[in-house]
Structures are given as structure tokens and as C-alpha cells.
Structure 1
Amino acid sequence: MIDFKLEGEFIPLIQLLKATGLVQSGGEAQTVVEDGLVKYNGAVDYRKRLKVRVGDVIDFMGKTIKVS
């Protein structure tokens, strides 16, 4: 599990995937979200501009990101 310390109110999902090193670029992040490979709090979410906040859990490629 990756524990991501959020600074501020939220982080866009695509930026979170890049910041944790799970994708190499913003374009790759957009593609994996559009393809339904990312789960937001247990459900597949296709929103590229999703605002991830403290307490949210993201699952991608067998990795879990907990935002604190």
C-alpha cells in the first residue's frame, strides 16, 4: 500500500497517479483512467479530473493508494 500525504484540499486523479510513480506521464494516466483500469473507493471511475481527497482509496494494477 502507498500512503500519500495530501497537501491541500484535493489532488486530481491523474496527478496522483504520476506523483506516486504508477504511471510515467499524464497521457498514460489519462489512458488508464479512460480504459477503466483505476478504481476509486472500490468502484471503477472514468473521470480524469476526479478530485481525490483525504480518506479516499485508489486501486490500480494491484497497487493501493491511501490518501491521508
Structure 2
Amino acid sequence: MFRKSSYSTQQGNCVEVAHTADGGRVVRDSKTPNGGLLFCQRGAWANFLEAVIADELPASGTR
């Protein structure tokens, strides 16, 4: 089951996340739920969350 963040905006600028059987995650764009999916293994998802929490990701539109 996909879940949308409680921080999502009403303009639809958000993603939805679902658990996988092996502990990973699947991510999709909430505006196009039948579009592509991004599969993340458990370790990759954990690393991503750590980077978000530590504010280590570049701002949108920058590299």
C-alpha cells in the first residue's frame, strides 16, 4: 500500500512510498500513480533517509 507524506502540498507536489517484501521501498509520483516506479533496496533507502535527516542533499535544481 502506497502512503503519501503528511507534509505533501495540496498542489500535488509529492511522492508516495510503499514497503517491499525484502524491506526496501517503492517510490512513485502521486500525480501519475500509473507511471514509473523507483525501487530502492533496504540499504539504499536507509542511506537516503540519513542524508535527508542530516540535510546533506542539494537543494532542488542545484548540483
- State the TM-score, normalized to the length of structure 2: 0.28
Asked which structure has the greater CA Rg, the reply is 2
Which has the larger strand fraction? 1
Which has the larger helix fraction? 1
